[in-house]
A and B are shown apart, each in its own frame.
Chain A
Amino acid sequence: MNFSFSSTIWHHHLKLGSGIQGFGVGSLSVYATQQEGDWIVGIHRGEAGDDKAFHTLSGEAPDGTAWRRLGSVDEMPELHIRPAFPNRPVVVRPEFPYTIIPGEKVCFFVGVPVSICLFSPAEVKLLEEPIVKLSNTWFGVPTEGELCYAMRTLARREGEHLDFGPTRVVCPVRVRNQTKETMMFERLCLRVKYLDMYEQAGKGLWANESSVIVRGGESWSRVAYARNAPANLKNPKLLVKGTEDPKGTYLLRAISHGKGFFQ
């Protein structure tokens, strides 16, 4: 197989061929070959590298590659490469606490690293591997909450010319402070299972908008997910549908402001 990436890998397939085929991004390398009529796919984590673009790999897979058998080549003459959101909610922390005054509505953009998935021609997911391994975190109190991934974000405010490349999906988040007090936003739980992923040439990967209305006190936040692609995209292509369909507005513990959450 011979990969030739322009800006994205998401339209490529692994096809029947001879020898080992491979591609890499950041610290992740993926190798594929055929053995005794089966697909054999190997995952290797090496030194941290450029995680903003894919590159082809040639030659033998390095020692320490974890191989797995995926199924018959006869049944699956090609494997489709697709992106996926992380398989748990993602708690994003701005680099610096963000002050939102009462009644203010702010929009910021978070780049969430995607996972690489291999699908059979019948759209059965065979493998999922994150490009960047995010650390675990807990959103809630020690006795009750959700296991999530953690990441830091620059929480960019200008989305018009934003492009995180093919390895991160831009998630627009609109937060409105409906309380009567100034809010110091420190963490936000992004429930990515409700998000769709779109692609547009020159703009990378984008998700539909999440909007959070913070009601303060003991009340949970009102969270809604847009059903369409962000308005700044022209003719975007839907790459991945959300794993759960957002049905209306949710009352969720979505935002954490103030210290002592876990004490």
Chain B
Amino acid sequence: MTNSIWPSWISSDAVRALIIIVIAWPLIHAGARLLERTLKKHMSAQAAMLGYQLVNYGGALLLVLMVLRELGFNITTILGAAGIAGVAIGFAAQTSLSNLISGFFLIWEKPFGVDDLIKTSSTTGVVVAIDLLSTKIRTFDNTLVRIPNETLIKSEVTTITKYDIRRFDINLGVAYKEDVGRVIRVLKEVANANPFCLDEPEPLVLFLGFGDSSLNFLFGVWFAKADFLALRNSILKEVHDRFREENIEIPFPHLSIYAGSATEPFPVKVVSGQ
């Protein structure tokens, strides 16, 4: 009689391996999901996702080893070979390892999280997942961009939705004939009348200086991050409408040419009938 945990009627190695797969794989999957749900209650979404993937992939690896053992392979030999192969693979998979370690840094440092809006040098979108090797971003036109974690660690990334409030800056130019004080007053009134502009922090109106064709201003209004589109759509229209009401000119770039005197315009003579 053989010393085995298996009933005598399960004699085939292949059947035993199949039974292990059928029982263990759903258990591993359920365990990973349970861990993910538990972590979600206490930690960030990406930490929960990482926990899920570690249990899922780790469990899958163990499962493969168990199945191989049942099929009669010598695990010690396989692991030994895997150690030697690991060194070789390590050299070959430097990029993957770098991405993996970068992924851990991203999760530990938390520059952004799942559902944050981020901007990289080439992509702006909402973070869908921070996986071990890459971060997935959904762009506004609903495409999925996969960025290797190493790239994100190495490059500049802006987390647009990190804080609950943001400032929307508008660069404005008005004609040289306009009264600077009046322009500042009108802009403040526009901000005060807009329901999406925060009362505090106060709107910023900065006289930047003298441009080629205009007096330049920076008009910055604070808003709750969820109101971005509503604010952007309304405030630009309101500034335009109010400037038109107040007869404040927004000039287009132009160049004045003078003939000899700075104060006299270039003489133009209209001759008719010639």
Contact = CB atoms under 8 A, between A and B. Distances in A.
Contacts of B227: 136
B201 A142 contact: yes
A135 B201 CA distance: 13
A139 interface: yes
B202 interface: yes
Contacts of B190: none
B201 A262 contact: yes
B200 A142 contact: no
B163 A138 contact: no
A221 B136 CA distance: 43
Contacts of B265: none
Contacts of B195: 133, 135-136
Interface in B38-63: none
A175 B222 CA distance: 29
Contacts of B198: 135-138, 150
A8 B141 CA distance: 50
Nearest to B191: A135
Contacts of A138: 164-165, 198, 200-201, 222, 224
Contacts of B196: 136
Interface residues on A, range: 10 to 19
A147 B200 contact: no
B191 to A, nearest CB: 10
A258 interface: no
B223 interface: yes
Contact of A136 (B163, B197, B202): B197
Contacts of B223: 136
B35 to A, nearest CB: 31
B199 interface: yes
Nearest to B196: A136
A145 interface: yes
B165 A147 contact: yes
A77 B119 CA distance: 52
A150 B194 CA distance: 13
Given A147-B164, A147-B224, A139 B197 contact: no
Interface of B: 163-165, 192, 194-202, 222-224, 227
Given A137-B198, A145-B164, A147-B224, 20 more contacts: A133-B195, A135-B194, A135-B195, A135-B197, A136-B195, A136-B197, A136-B223, A136-B224, A138-B164, A138-B165, A138-B200, A142-B163, A143-B163, A144-B163, A147-B164, A147-B165, A150-B198, A187-B200, A262-B200, A262-B201
29 contacts: A91-B199, A91-B200, A133-B195, A135-B192, A135-B194, A135-B195, A135-B197, A135-B198, A136-B196, A136-B199, A136-B223, A136-B224, A136-B227, A137-B199, A138-B165, A138-B198, A138-B222, A138-B224, A139-B200, A142-B163, A142-B201, A143-B163, A144-B163, A145-B165, A150-B198, A187-B200, A261-B200, A262-B200, A262-B201
